[in-house]
């Protein structure tokens, strides 16, 4: 049986959407787009950077909540380099950033050089965009790509395990899945636990405290067909929810849906 052409098919993409280094260069000069569907076969990562005196709390928070916060790399204090993308600059190579002061969002700059501090420790956290290529190749629809939108993300009522001064609720991303593809979506994502792995919930959104799928807290709403099942995965925006609730004096994050595109191949994190 011939599979439909995946929106991730590399031959369909221009070089700046296909090659990680070219994508980062594209964002470095000011481009601002969600990164779903970019650089198929390569890992994407969420970013949160906190002052060194909050770094242990953040590390412990991620360790205690691995489903939404799987850590791929942690930098030295003040460093804007990561082993996930040699030569990349964490201050400039993401499409957009968020600046948080005392838990309040105060700026969303295109580059963060002016906000970077010598005491910042950066955490790179796995992103579900990484396993979308595998899902798409297996015939699971990616509605946000079909509709050219950011993936919808929701703040749930599920508390994360607290860590030191950090506490907050889990954020999830959602993709509608046809019933006949549900087992495939679960299996394919479970093979990549370092980028959130299997879903945290399938079906009724009210179980997660989500009242209206048409009103995501982050990203854009997408169409859900009558026979489709909303499927929810842990999301790397969860540390931002913790920042909003815990109110550290300063934090720097990616803007939701706008990730660091790394040089690491997806298969590096595939468990079999």
The model's confidence at residue 17, banded by pLDDT at 50, 70 and 90, is confident
Mean pLDDT of all residues in the chain? Answer: 94
Q: What percent of the chain has pLDDT over 90?
A: 93
Look at residue 9 in the predicted model and tell me its pLDDT: 52
The answer to whether the CB of 25 falls within 8 A of the CB of 89 is: no
Report the pLDDT averaged over residues 109-138: 96
Look at residue 33 in the predicted model and tell me its pLDDT: 94
Range from 5-9, 59-63, 153-157 carrying the lowest mean pLDDT: 5-9
Look at residue 254 in the predicted model and tell me its pLDDT: 98
The model's confidence at residue 11, banded by pLDDT at 50, 70 and 90, is low
| pLDDT tens digit sequence for 207-261 | 999 999 999 999 999 999 999 999 999 999 999 999 999 999 999 999 999 999 9
Domains and CATH numbers, the chain: 15-128+246-269 (3.40.1640.10), 131-238 (3.30.2040.10)
Look at residue 12 in the predicted model and tell me its pLDDT: 73
Between 10 and 133, the higher pLDDT residue: 133
> Dihedral through CA 159, CA 162, CA 167, CA 172, nearest 10?
-40
Look at residue 81 in the predicted model and tell me its pLDDT: 98
Look at residue 2 in the predicted model and tell me its pLDDT: 32
**194 has pLDDT over 50:** yes
Report the pLDDT averaged over residues 20-44: 95
88: Cα within 13 Å, side-chain hemisphere? 24
Look at residue 272 in the predicted model and tell me its pLDDT: 76
**10 has pLDDT over 70:** no
């Amino acid at each position: 049986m011939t599979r439909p052409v995946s929106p991730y098919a590399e031959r369909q993409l221009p070089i700046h959407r296909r090659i990680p280094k070219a994508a980062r260069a594209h964002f470095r000069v000011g481009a601002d787009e969600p990164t779903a569907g970019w650089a198929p076969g390569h890992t994407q990562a969420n970013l949160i950077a906190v002052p060194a005196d909050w770094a242990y709390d953040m590390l412990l928070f991620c360790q205690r909540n691995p489903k939404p916060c799987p850590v791929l790399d942690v930098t030295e204090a003040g460093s804007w380099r990561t082993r996930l993308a040699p030569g990349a600059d964490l201050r400039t190579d993401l499409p957009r950033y968020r600046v948080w002061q005392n838990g309040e969002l105060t700026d969303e700059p295109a580059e963060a050089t002016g906000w970077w501090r010598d005491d910042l420790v950066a955490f790179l956290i796995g992103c579900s965009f990484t396993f979308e290529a595998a899902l798409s190749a297996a015939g699971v629809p990616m509605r946000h790509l079909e509709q050219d939108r950011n993936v919808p993300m929701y703040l749930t009522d599920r508390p994360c395990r607290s860590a030191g001064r950090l506490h907050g609720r889990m954020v999830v991303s959602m993709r509608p899945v046809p019933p006949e593809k549900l087992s495939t979506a679960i299996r394919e994502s479970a093979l990549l636990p370092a980028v959130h792995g299997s879903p945290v919930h399938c079906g009724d959104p009210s179980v997660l405290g989500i009242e209206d799928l048409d009103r995501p807290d982050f990203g854009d709403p997408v169409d859900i067909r009558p026979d489709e099942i909303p499927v929810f995965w842990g999301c790397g925006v969860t540390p931002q929810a913790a920042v909003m609730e815990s109110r550290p004096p300063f934090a720097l994050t990616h803007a939701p849906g706008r990730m660091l595109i790394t040089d690491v191949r997806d298969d590096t994190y595939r468990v079999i």
